[in-house]
Amino acid sequence: MEPEFTDSYEFGIDSRFFESRLSFDLSVYYSKSDNQILRDIRVPPSAGTFYATLNGGAIINKGNALSFLQDHHNIKPSETMAFGDYNNDLEMLKCAKYSYAMSNAHPNVKVVAKYKTESNDDFGVEQVLETLISQIGKA
C-alpha cells in the first residue's frame, strides 16, 4: 500500500426559487490528506455494525467561496450584495459592500453587516431586491 497525498477543493453554489422566495448558498470544502494509509478494516456482518473509514476535511467559510467567485468573474466587493443571519455568514458579509443582516440575525451578524432588512419569514431579501430592481428600472 502506498501513502495517500491529496489536496482537493470542492466549490458549490445552490440557488433556489420556491414559493416566491429566492435563496443562494455558497460553500467551499477543502480536504487534505498527507501520508495517510487507509487500511481495509473488516467487520463481520454478524456484528450488526457498519464501519467506514473516511478522510477528514474542513469546510471553508462562505467568504472564501464568495471571494473565489469575485476573483473568477472580476466582480468587485463594491458590486456585491450579501445577506446573512448566522455566524457562518460573517466572512461572506465582509466580502460585500452591500451586506445585509436579517432582523432575526445573530447579534454578531448585525455588528458586521452594513445594512438591516426584515427577517426571512417577512421576505427581507426579496424586499431589498425588489427595491434595487425598481431603482434600476428608473435609471
Residue 65 has pLDDT above 70, yes or no: yes
pLDDT for residue 21? 65
**What fold does the segment set 4-138 form as a domain?**
Rossmann fold (3.40.50)
pLDDT for residue 4? 59
Give per-residue pLDDT as tens, 20-62: 666 666 666 666 665 554 444 555 555 555 555 554 455 567 8
**Where along the chain do its domains lie?**
4-138
Q: How many CB atoms lie within 10 A of CB 22?
A: 12
CA distances from 70 to 18, 40, 81, 105, 112 (A): 26, 42, 11, 25, 20
Which amino acid, residue 134? S
Per the prediction, the chain carries an average pLDDT of: 78
CA distance linking residue 27 with residue 75, whole number of Å? 18
Stretch 55-81: mean pLDDT, rounded? Answer: 80
Q: How many CB atoms lie within 10 A of CB 128?
A: 18
Evaluate whether 115 touches 101 at the Cβ level (below 8 Å): yes
CA nearest neighbour of 62 among 91, 98, 86, 29: 91
**Looking at the chain, how many residues does it have?**
139
Residue 90 has pLDDT above 60, yes or no: yes
